[in-house]
């Protein structure tokens, strides 16, 4: 059902197209405005509940993903998370996930951010959509950099694993090398 350019959903899982999950209050009820690359949805769930559901969909939990981030990089507060590594789905919270004003942002789609002159940050995504978030530009940048660091750690580990797997499956053939003979 399409009303006011939003499609209304009962529930939602984060996917490759998810750009942001924003808290919305309508008649004293908490909902989420989900922005994807090609559409927007109003979901009858709180943002952190969507993230929890999505982590469980991919075989973990929000707490498990936060603990994973802590193990990888030592971050304990407002930790960015890997929702699903093979699809490269990484999110970061704009506030403590326990707070009702916490939004979740996909690192992948952020192309620009700037202060609005107060404690708010204007974020522009790769599809030219923008949102104004109640977070200082410094805090937003910190969250963006933390998520970038988490992605780098995971990419490096995946690359190393692939290299080792390739070496095990196709070890070098040393018999093809000619022996070095010293004729002196």
**Strand-pair category, 89-93 with 81-84:** antiparallel
Of 21, 26, 37, the C-alpha closest to 4 is 26
Note the pLDDT of residue 54.
97
Compute the distance between CA of residue 31 and CA of residue 21 in angstroms, rounded to an integer: 10
Helix/strand/coil for 168: helix
Compute the distance between CA of residue 7 and CA of residue 11 in angstroms, rounded to an integer: 12
HSE (CB half, 13 Å, CA atoms) of 147? 26
Residue 121 falls inside a structural domain: yes
Residue 30 falls inside a structural domain: yes
pLDDT band at 3, cuts 50/70/90? very low
Residue 78 falls inside a structural domain: yes
Note the pLDDT of residue 1.
33
| Lowest mean per-residue pLDDT among 33-37, 113-117, 149-153, 169-173 | 169-173
Stated pTM of the model = 0.84
Residue 42 falls inside a structural domain: yes
Q: Convert the pLDDT of each residue in 6-51 to its tens digit.
A: 799 999 999 999 999 999 999 999 999 999 999 999 999 999 999 9
pLDDT at 167 over 90: no
State what percent of residues in the chain have pLDDT above 70.
84
Residues 136 and 123 sit within 8 Å (Cβ to Cβ) = no
Residue 176 falls inside a structural domain: no
Q: Convert the pLDDT of each residue in 44-71 to its tens digit.
A: 999 999 999 999 999 999 999 999 999 9
Mean pLDDT on 107-124 = 94
Burial 90-122 (b: 16+ CB within 10 A, else e): bbbbbbebeeeebbbbbbbbbeebeeeeeeebe
Residue 135 falls inside a structural domain: yes
Domain of residue 159, residue span = 2-169
Look up residue 77 and give its two tokens.
Answer: 């507060």
The number of folded domains in the chain is 1
Residue 175 falls inside a structural domain: no
Based on the number of CB atoms within 10 Å of its own CB, is 13 exposed (0-12), middle (13-18) or buried (19 or more)?
Answer: middle
Residue 178 falls inside a structural domain: no
Which is higher by pLDDT, 112 or 168?
112
């Amino acid at each position: 059902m399409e009303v006011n350019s939003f499609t209304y959903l009962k529930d939602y899982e984060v996917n490759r197209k998810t750009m942001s999950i924003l808290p919305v209050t309508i008649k004293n009820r908490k909902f989420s405005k989900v922005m994807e690359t090609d559409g927007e949805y109003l979901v009858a769930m709180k943002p952190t509940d969507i993230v929890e559901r999505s982590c469980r969909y991919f075989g973990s939990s929000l707490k498990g993903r936060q603990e994973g981030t802590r193990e990888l990089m030592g971050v304990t507060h407002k930790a960015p998370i890997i929702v699903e590594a093979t699809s490269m789905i990484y999110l970061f919270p704009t506030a403590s996930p326990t707070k009702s004003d916490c939004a979740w942002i996909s690192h992948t789609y952020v192309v620009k951010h700037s202060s609005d002159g107060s404690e708010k940050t204007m974020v522009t995504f790769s599809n030219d959509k923008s949102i104004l978030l109640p977070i200082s530009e410094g805090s937003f940048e910190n969250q963006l950099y933390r998520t970038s660091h988490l992605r780098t750690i995971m990419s490096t580990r995946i690359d190393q694993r692939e290299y080792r797997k390739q070496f095990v499956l196709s070890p070098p053939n040393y018999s093809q090398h000619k022996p070095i003979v010293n004729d002196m």
